Amino acid sequence: MVRPDAPFLAACRGERADHVPVWFMRQAGRSLPEYREVRGPGSILDAIRDPERAAEITLQPVRRYGVDAAVLFNDIVAPLAAIGAGVELTQGTGPTLEKPFRSVDDLARLRSLEPETDMPYVAETIRILVRELGDVPLIGFAGGPFTLASYLIEGGPSRSHTKTKAMMYGDPALFTAILDRLADIAITFLRSQVAAGASAIQLFDSWAGALTPSAYETFVLPASRRILSALEDLDVPRIHFGVGTGTLLELMAAAGADVVGVDWRVPLDDARRRLGPDTAVQGNLDPGVCLAPWEVLATEARDVLARNAGRPGHVFNLGHGVLPETDPDALARLVDLVHAEGRTDGPHLTAGEG
Amino acid sequence: MVRPDAPFLAACRGERADHVPVWFMRQAGRSLPEYREVRGPGSILDAIRDPERAAEITLQPVRRYGVDAAVLFNDIVAPLAAIGAGVELTQGTGPTLEKPFRSVDDLARLRSLEPETDMPYVAETIRILVRELGDVPLIGFAGGPFTLASYLIEGGPSRSHTKTKAMMYGDPALFTAILDRLADIAITFLRSQVAAGASAIQLFDSWAGALTPSAYETFVLPASRRILSALEDLDVPRIHFGVGTGTLLELMAAAGADVVGVDWRVPLDDARRRLGPDTAVQGNLDPGVCLAPWEVLATEARDVLARNAGRPGHVFNLGHGVLPETDPDALARLVDLVHAEGRTDGPHLTAGEG
């Protein structure tokens, strides 16, 4: 049973915790030998659709590292695949679409998600996890509107998001309609994860950092705000994350996040100064540092802790997902260091107390 | 003959100009039909090694758009290929190395550049260009130390720069030695371009934005500072550019830049406030906006001009290179708009007057 004073949940609410909590984006996955053992061949969707296997993969890093939160083994495009939007997930490539989104006719491919019939295995996985995790909170998640729209419109991963921006600027009505449907799907998906037992959620708008602040505010923020507002009554922490979002942090907080994910490009002291006392932060060690010798990794991790300077409302994490080349032993030592040396001794933030 | 009061040069020095100058990174290249006509098959290096062809490609966008500067048709890895470092350039892939840099033995592959014998075609191209360009300044360039090191260490383009960071943090002596040699090569390459007739230079450290500010300051800034300082006596504007460098702008200026390139993620008014009155700026329209309908493109271009607010020391550009899908007519109209509507009516910056 997860207690409300679990360090991860307390930190998300901006409250002092027994220790600085830590988890890692992509803590389950390719960097773990035990993952490669149970993952099986075929699409990652096969593993996601198998509750026992998905739960086992979710649990592996909790067992190995003693992290303060589990994150559901799933994928941000899984709900889109489940409603038949035409998204494929092949190993090593990321999401692809044979027919990328081009016109208003494609909107029909984004019907409402019905979790009980489209993805019954998710609730089943979460029910197993809640039982197995005991007092460790489970984080559910969904893809953010810009990131999912980019996959749909580009037809795959993109560096420049050219077609996405062309539609955003050239046919804002269609772009907005796509984001609106993606927001509806995210709301339904996230609410169903919380209903099944997730204790917190993260909205991964990983590629939102490709936009100017003004484009983000005009075209993306309304959809993100709608998603995060629609979860308010559930009273679970809402984390909002993107990569390269150094100029978007305030807007991502304004979307209704309790916790803003910060990548390594923004020093954490700057991020906290900019976000102010009402918003907790998550981050922000460069994942590349985890490939360094232990002394360097330890120094850099201590620098992150020092920049937070004991303020409550810090969830330690990497600035993006664990790199596949990462040595699991390095992450294990990192968790121990954060637990041993991370302190929150400042006053509570006001965020969770309103 | 280039006059010192050419708008591009005046703006680089922070002085008022007759109009806001504009050029585009990758203005020569795949977006132009006349380029595809003369480019020829084979490696881009073949075109670079042919002075008549390289000059023609450099001139094409000047003729078509009436931009305020030409930029030498070349590639940041061309000097590395010329000294036999083992870099290949195949169309569509970017730079690749069959044997990426791994150990101290690889340092031998970075011998000194001797422009007259290694790349005689560059000076020859520039001599043709100086004759043909008349009063339009020519920008020479070189790759920045982090960006070139990343290609050498990764063996090709990379999103996460994993191996580069692993070496940077794990074997800083080797990493620094690589950057030192790359700095020497850049100095020689840039000085030879100016000697042949280039009126300004740009240091493209395109991927430096992958680093934390503190890693940039420790591992990259010393090499970049050495490059830019070594050009000081030449008295040509030095532009320092990277993508996603929103948290590095002050450091990139401190490296010794007269002009800092700003990508679209940082609003130009913020960039100017942060960089202060001694540094000119170049940018910063999102290249993706060039695929939008004209009204949108015009509005966004006007927003860039408005954020600069008439301050001298603004070179209009995109925040990164022209996307291959861009309609040349859109860029032609954009140049006309900047020339017609861009005004500098504030006092001179102090930068060029010291």
pLDDT one-digit tens code per residue, A47-62: 999 999 999 999 999 9
Q: What is the reported pLDDT for A343?
A: 87
Cβ-defined contact of A246 to B264 (cutoff 8 Å): no
State the best of B161, B286, B297 to mutate against chain A, taking most chain A CBs within 10 Å.
Answer: B286
Cβ-defined contact of B166 to A212 (cutoff 8 Å): no
Q: What is the reported pLDDT for A353?
A: 37
Comparing alpha-carbon positions, the chain B residue that sits nearest to A262 is B212
Report whether pLDDT(A295) > 50.
yes
Q: What is the reported pLDDT for A1?
A: 86
Instruction: Tell me the ipTM for this assembly.
Output: 0.94
Strand pairing category for A238-241 and B87-90: unpaired
Cβ-defined contact of B170 to A293 (cutoff 8 Å): yes
Domain count, chain A: 1
Secondary structure of chain A in the HEC alphabet? CCCCCCHHHHHHCCCCCCCCCECCCCCCCCCCHHHHHHHCCCCHHHHHCCHHHHHHHHHHHHHHHCCCCEECCCCCCHHHHHCCCCEEEECCCEEEECCCCCCHHHHHHCCCCCHHHHCHHHHHHHHHHHHHHCCCCEEEEEECHHHHHHHHHHCCCCCCCHHHHHHHHHCHHHHHHHHHHHHHHHHHHHHHHHHHCCCEEEEECCCHHHCCHHHHHHHHHHHHHHHHHCCHHHCCCEEEECCCCCCCHHHHHHCCCCEEECCCCCCHHHHHHHHCCCCEEEEEECHHHHHCCHHHHHHHHHHHHHHHCCCCCEEEEECCCCCCCCCHHHHHHHHHHHHHHCCCCCCCCCHHHC
B80 CB-near residues (< 8 Å, 6+ apart): B87, B110, B148, B151, B152, B185
- Residue B164: exposed, middle, or buried by beta-carbon count in 10 A (0-12, 13-18, 19+)? buried
Cβ-defined contact of B162 to A291 (cutoff 8 Å): yes
Strand pairing category for A138-143 and A200-204: parallel
Give the percent of chain A with pLDDT over 90. 93
Q: Which of B144, B143, B149 is nearest to B168 (CA)?
A: B149
Selecting from A169, A170, A212 the residue whose C-beta is nearest the C-beta of B264 gives A212
Selecting from B166, B212, B265 the residue whose C-beta is nearest the C-beta of A209 gives B265
Report whether pLDDT(A40) > 90.
no
In a domain, B1, yes or no: no
In a domain, A1, yes or no: no
Cβ-defined contact of A247 to B266 (cutoff 8 Å): yes
Q: Which residues of A touch B (CB under 8 A)?
A: 159-162, 164-166, 169-170, 209, 211-215, 244, 246-247, 264-267, 270, 286-289, 291-293, 296-297, 300, 303, 323, 325
State the best of B169, B263, B270, B285 to mutate against chain A, taking most chain A CBs within 10 Å.
Answer: B169
Cβ-defined contact of A170 to B291 (cutoff 8 Å): yes
Q: What is the reported pLDDT for B42?
A: 82
Amino acid A161 reads H
Q: What is the reported pLDDT for B352?
A: 41
What value does the mean pLDDT of chain B take? 96
In a domain, B218, yes or no: yes
Cβ-defined contact of B209 to A244 (cutoff 8 Å): yes
Q: Which of B22, B287, B334, B268 is nearest to A169 (CA)?
A: B287
By the 8 A CB rule, do A349 and A280 touch?
yes
Under 8 Å CB pairs connecting chains A and B tally to 103
Cβ-defined contact of A209 to B165 (cutoff 8 Å): no
What value does the mean pLDDT of chain A take? 96
What tokens does B113 get? Answer: 């550049």
In a domain, B347, yes or no: yes
In a domain, B55, yes or no: yes
What's the pLDDT tens digit per position in B181-214?
999 999 999 999 999 999 999 999 999 999 999 9
CA distance B296 to chain A (A): 7
Q: What is the reported pLDDT for A347?
A: 65
Comparing alpha-carbon positions, the chain B residue that sits nearest to A209 is B265
Selecting from B165, B270, B300 the residue whose C-beta is nearest the C-beta of A288 gives B165
Selecting from A161, A270, A286 the residue whose C-beta is nearest the C-beta of B288 gives A161
Place of tokens 């043909």: B132
Q: How far is CA B211 from CA A165, B38, B76, in A?
A: 26, 38, 20
By the 8 A CB rule, do A314 and A349 touch?
no
Amino acid A14 reads G
What tokens does B216 get? Answer: 């940039």
> Which residues of B are less than 8 Å from A303 in CB distance?
214
Going by pLDDT thresholds of 50, 70 and 90, the confidence category of residue B351 is very low
Report whether pLDDT(B91) > 80.
no
Q: How far is CA B42 from CA A239, B47, B88, B91, in A?
A: 49, 8, 11, 8
> Which residues of B are less than 8 Å from A266 in CB distance?
247
For residue B265, what is the domain's CATH number?
A: 3.20.20.210
Alpha helices (H) in chain B, listed in sequence order: 7-12, 33-39, 44-48, 51-65, 78-82, 115-118, 120-133, 145-154, 162-170, 172-196, 213-215, 221-229, 249-254, 268-275, 294-308, 328-341
Alpha-carbon gap, residue A353 to A221, rounded angstroms: 25
- Rounded mean pLDDT of B85-94? 87
Q: What is the reported pLDDT for B131?
A: 97
Place of tokens 């860029």: B331
With vertex at residue A66, the alpha carbon angle to CA A63 and CA A70, rounded to the nearest 5 degrees, is 75
Q: Which of A83-87, A348-352, B80-84, B193-197 is predicted with the least confidence, judged by mean pLDDT? A: A348-352
Report whether pLDDT(A97) > 90.
yes
In a domain, A61, yes or no: yes
Q: Which residues of A are catalytic?
A: 26, 30, 39, 75, 151
Report whether pLDDT(B350) > 60.
no
Residue A48 φ then ψ, to 5°: -65, -35
Comparing alpha-carbon positions, the chain A residue that sits nearest to B162 is A288
Going by pLDDT thresholds of 50, 70 and 90, the confidence category of residue B92 is confident
Going by pLDDT thresholds of 50, 70 and 90, the confidence category of residue B40 is confident
In a domain, B2, yes or no: no
Q: Which residues of B are catalytic?
A: 26, 30, 39, 75, 151
Cβ-defined contact of B296 to A170 (cutoff 8 Å): yes
What's the pLDDT tens digit per position in A116-162?
999 999 999 999 999 999 999 999 999 999 999 999 999 999 999 99
In a domain, A2, yes or no: no
Cβ-defined contact of A292 to B170 (cutoff 8 Å): yes
pTM recorded for the entire structure: 0.95
Comparing alpha-carbon positions, the chain A residue that sits nearest to B284 is A212
Comparing alpha-carbon positions, the chain B residue that sits nearest to A161 is B288
Alpha-carbon gap, residue B234 to B228, rounded angstroms: 10
Q: How far is CA A117 from CA A185, B177, B225, in A?
A: 14, 59, 60
CA distance A196 to chain B (A): 35
What tokens does A254 get? Answer: 């304004």
Going by pLDDT thresholds of 50, 70 and 90, the confidence category of residue A350 is low
Comparing alpha-carbon positions, the chain B residue that sits nearest to A245 is B265
Selecting from B170, B212, B296 the residue whose C-beta is nearest the C-beta of A169 gives B296
- Rounded mean pLDDT of A40-51? 91
Comparing alpha-carbon positions, the chain A residue that sits nearest to B211 is A265
Going by pLDDT thresholds of 50, 70 and 90, the confidence category of residue A41 is confident
- Rounded mean pLDDT of A243-255? 98
Q: Which of B6, B14, B86, B49 is nearest to B279 (CA)?
A: B14
Selecting from A170, A264, A265 the residue whose C-beta is nearest the C-beta of B293 gives A170
Q: Which residues of B touch A (CB under 8 A)?
A: 159-162, 164-166, 169-170, 209, 211-215, 244, 246-247, 264-267, 270, 286-289, 291-293, 296-297, 300, 303, 323, 325
Domain that holds residue B310: 7-353
Selecting from A160, A244, A300 the residue whose C-beta is nearest the C-beta of B323 gives A160
The one-character DSSP state at B332 is: H
Alpha-carbon gap, residue A335 to A20, rounded angstroms: 10
Comparing alpha-carbon positions, the chain A residue that sits nearest to B159 is A159
State the best of A164, A169, A171 to mutate against chain B, taking most chain B CBs within 10 Å.
Answer: A169
CA distance A166 to chain B (A): 5
Going by pLDDT thresholds of 50, 70 and 90, the confidence category of residue A348 is low
Selecting from B247, B286, B323 the residue whose C-beta is nearest the C-beta of A265 gives B247
